[in-house]
Structure 1
């Protein structure tokens, strides 16, 4: 399996730090699939589960900012591997009613 630098906790932190929350009206989650290529690049992002087009666009923007991953390996060779993860949006006015 490919690995984000620092593992899954680092991936979730990267997403949290780079996400623009102002596009969400409530807590919503977009599911993204990428291919981590043999060189560790996050390529071919696809929205597997959409909530609305603005959030989909923001989730895809986050993928474009990602650093290189540790590529997946099989039989001692780097391989292209699909990887799926959630991007969770929370309302910027959380707690206000």
Structure 2
């Protein structure tokens, strides 16, 4: 019995050392932002709901009342989980209005993400916007 215990104490460390450490493979997340995808991202409820959502942008108090019409492009990244990040305005209009649109878009609900080969991917999404402000006779 004593020899068995000594033999076990000698063999056990050798057996454990022989196992070695498993190599950990670090899989880097795909940070690529795609412009073209198989399935485009979609706002919950579709384009009509997206348009209705944009109509709800609060008009800033310091908005230039003389600038009653503006067209611009808003860009954002729709992440793999559907969240909106990196919203920005191209072809800027009034600075206060740009900030209002960016803040509103960043608060949007999660989208259905874009997909390539059935897998969700990050997508650069652009949306043209036309604003028409009605002037009151004040």
TM-score range with shorter-chain normalisation?
A: 0.7 to 0.9
TM-score of the two chains, using structure 1 as the length reference: 0.85
Q: How does 1:61-80 map to 2 (within 5 A)?
A: 61-80=103-122
- CA RMSD, Structure 1 to Structure 2 (Å): 1.9
Residue 33 (1) aligns with residue 41 (2): no
Count of aligned pairs: 95
Look at both structures and tell me which one has the larger radius of gyration over its CA atoms.
2
Taking CA–CA contacts closer than 8 Å with sequence separation of 6 or more, which of the two structures ends up with the larger relative contact order? 1
Moved over 3 A (4+): none
| More strand, by proportion | 1
Query: Equivalents in 1 of 2:116, 2:64: separation in Å?
Result: 39
Structure 2 Cα separation of the partners of residues 70 and 24 of structure 1: 35
Give the deviation of 1:24 after TM superposition.
Answer: 5.0
> Which consecutive unaligned segments of at least 5 residues does structure 2 have?
1-39
Aligned 1:1-97 pairs, distance under 5 A: 1-16=40-55, 18-21=56-59, 23=63, 25=65, 26-93=68-135, 96=137
